[in-house]
């Protein structure tokens, strides 16, 4: 009963039957890049799966930590200048969510505390709560590129704090931290001897073509980092359900924890074997142009989103720098009496415009809402036209 998904509680209030019957449904709410039909995975990913099926070697159970070839492929791809990753440092999981579950359980017992971002991906709350682990939420600064408020984080640390989770690039913010800020977070973790769970599922999905994505582990040899990743977003295949944990721990602080992680992987009989078998081929064959094109397309949609929002009275957004989301602030005082918070805003938007957005409260951020920037340009144009008309209609006179 303590397993609660906060999104469900809020989104269940936004029901399809409440939509405007005269307008087609337009959804900017689902963090699944495949549902809009315009973003397709690479041909080589499909080929890799077909090959794995036809070879017939991936029909059985794999070791609970993952197939050797998949673990080696992840180790090679994510070895960093300062960390040579070995197969034994990689754990293949059922998606990044499965990886997060294992990381949180491995580091925290019931009654322990974990630092989570606010706003943040709601699954963190669900996973911690389900195990009786207390979530302490550190603020991200909406007026400073969604950077971590380290002073606030500092005020939350107690003798029961076991880890800090950092999500970069961020869902729901679309923010990407630079090396200096990541280093500040690492220094904070070092000061309090906290290991970092780095949710890097959106790794490399950044828009500035002159920059390279920075893994947190690149910036430290001393703070142990569990980096969580997967193929869901970057390869546009969330349904394949393969993710991983990479243990970056030069100092060996996590030697005991490795045993705990290994034990936890035996709770289910492993991640999808077929996709694991396809992983080395996927990594080898997908050309850099695939990622480049995806990032360009997401950048275009994000820039378009930020530009349209900047012209809508009552709304504001920080231009996303990566991932596939944008958080939009609602200046509640500018709206009429029908709109008193983000949930009322979103439900009225659904009712009048058949447009679905996720209220910020799903991410513990009142008076914001999140849009997904994956839909086609045509859908985004239509969505923001409707949003603009809706806001104009409901501005306080």
Tokens read off for 116: 């989570």
- Residue 161 or 175: which CB sits closer to ligand PLP? 175
**Among residues 236 and 355, whose Cβ is nearest to ligand PLP?**
236
Residue with smaller CB distance to ligand PLP, 233 or 386: 233
Q: DSSP states of 307-369 as a string? A: HHHHTSTTEEEPPP-BTTEEEEEE-GGGB-TT-SSHHHHHHHHHHHH-EE-EEGGGGT-TTEE
**Least distance between ligand PLP and beta carbon 234 (Å):** 10
HEC sequence for 40-74 = CCCHHHHHHHHHHHHHCCCCCCCCCCCCHHHHHHH
In whole angstroms, give the CA distance from residue 205 to residue 39: 14
- Selected range binding ligand PLP among 93-101, 173-181, 273-281, 348-356, rule: CB under 6 A: 93-101
- What gap in Å lies between CA 104 and CA 127, rounded to an integer? 8
276 is an interface residue for ligand PLP by CB under 6 A: no
Q: Which of 66, 243, 270, 314 binds ligand PLP (CB under 6 A)?
A: 243
Q: Minimal CA–CA distance to 150: which of 123, 178, 184?
A: 184
Interface region with ligand PLP, contact rule CB under 6 A, candidates 89-97, 103-111, 289-297, 332-340: 89-97
Q: Which of 27, 105, 171, 367 forms a contact with ligand PLP (CB under 6 A)?
A: 171
Question: Residues 27-66: x/- map of binding to ligand PLP (CB under 6 A)?
Answer: ----x-----------------------------------
Q: Which residue lies nearer to ligand PLP by CB, 5 or 20? A: 5
Number of residues engaging ligand PLP in binding (CB under 6 A): 13
CA distances from 200 to 89, 98, 176, 214, 331 (A): 16, 14, 11, 10, 31
Minimum separation from the CB atom of position 335 to ligand PLP (A): 29
CA distance to 145, 149, 150, 169, per residue, from 141 (Å)? 7, 6, 10, 15
| CA atoms of 192 and 245, how far apart (whole Å) | 23
Task: Work out how close the CB of 228 gets to ligand PLP at its nearest, in angstroms, rounded to a whole number.
Answer: 7
Smallest separation, CB 72 to ligand PLP (Å): 20
User: Shortest approach of ligand PLP to residue 259 CB, angstroms?
Assistant: 24
Of residues 115-134, those binding ligand PLP (CB under 6 A): 121
E strands in 196-317: 196-199, 225-230, 243-248, 315-317
- Of 26, 64, 78, 95, the one binding ligand PLP (CB under 6 A) is 95
CB of 362 to ligand PLP, least distance (A): 12
Encoded one letter per residue, x for contact with ligand PLP by CB under 6 A and - for no contact, window 201-240 reads: x----------------------------x-x-----x--
Distance of CA 168 to the CA centre of its chain: 8
Cα-based distances in Å from 64 to 71, 74, 243, 246, 271: 11, 16, 13, 15, 8
Q: Do residues 239 and 199 make contact, with C-beta atoms less than 8 angstroms apart?
A: no
Which tokens hold the place of 303? 């820039």
96 touching ligand PLP, by CB under 6 A: yes
Of 38 and 272, CB closest to ligand PLP: 272
Segment lying near ligand PLP (by CB under 6 A), choices 56-64, 90-98, 149-157, 295-303: 90-98
Tell me the closest approach of the beta carbon of residue 56 to ligand PLP, in angstroms.
26
Token representation of residue 126: 């669900």
Cα of 229 vs its chain's centroid, Å: 10
Query: What sign for the dihedral angle of Cα 257, 258, 259, 264?
Result: positive
Question: Given the rule CB under 6 A, which residues bind ligand PLP?
Answer: 31, 95-97, 121, 167, 171, 199, 201, 230, 232, 238, 243
């Amino acid at each position: 009963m303590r397993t609660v998904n906060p999104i469900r509680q809020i989104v269940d209030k936004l029901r399809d039957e409440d939509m405007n019957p005269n307008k087609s449904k337009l959804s900017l709410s689902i963090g699944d890049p495949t549902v809009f039909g315009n973003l397709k995975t690479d041909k080589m990913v499909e080929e890799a799966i077909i090959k794995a099926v036809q070879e017939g070697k991936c029909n059985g159970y794999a070791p609970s930590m993952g197939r050797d070839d998949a673990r080696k492929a992840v180790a090679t791809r994510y070895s960093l200048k300062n960390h040579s990753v070995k197969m034994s440092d990689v754990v293949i999981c059922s998606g990044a969510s499965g990886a997060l579950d294992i990381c949180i359980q491995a580091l925290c017992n019931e009654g322990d505390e974990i630092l989570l971002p606010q706003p943040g991906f709601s699954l963190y709350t669900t996973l911690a709560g389900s195990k009786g682990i207390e979530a302490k939420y550190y603020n991200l600064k909406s007026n400073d590129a969604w950077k971590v408020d380290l002073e606030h984080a500092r005020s939350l640390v107690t003798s029961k704090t076991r880890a800090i989770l950092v999500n970069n690039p961020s869902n729901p913010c679309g923010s990407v931290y630079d090396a200096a800020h990541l280093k500040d977070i690492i220094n904070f973790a070092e000061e309090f001897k906290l290991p970092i769970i780095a949710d890097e599922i959106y790794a490399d999905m950044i828009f500035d073509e002159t920059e390279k994505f920075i893994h947190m582990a690149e910036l430290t040899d001393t703070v142990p980092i569990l980096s969580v990743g997967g193929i869901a977003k970057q390869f546009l295949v969330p349904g394949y359900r393969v993710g991983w944990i990479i243990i970056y721990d030069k100092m060996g602080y996590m030697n005991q924890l490795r045993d705990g992680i290994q034990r936890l992987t035996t709770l289910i009989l492993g991640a999808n074997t077929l996709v694991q078998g396809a992983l080395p081929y996927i990594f080898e064959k997908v050309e850099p142009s695939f990622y480049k094109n995806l990032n360009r397309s997401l950048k275009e949609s994000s820039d378009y989103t930020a530009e349209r929002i900047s012209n809508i009275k009552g709304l504001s957004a920080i231009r996303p720098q990566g991932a596939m989301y944008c958080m939009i602030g609602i200046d509640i005082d500018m709206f009429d009496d029908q709109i008193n918070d983000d949930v009322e805003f979103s439900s009225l938007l659904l009712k009048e415009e058949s447009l679905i957005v996720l209220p910020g409260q799903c991410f513990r951020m009142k008076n914001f809402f999140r849009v997904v920037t994956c839909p086609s340009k045509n859908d985004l144009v239509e969505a923001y036209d409707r949003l603009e008309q809706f806001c104009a209609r409901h501005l306080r006179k």
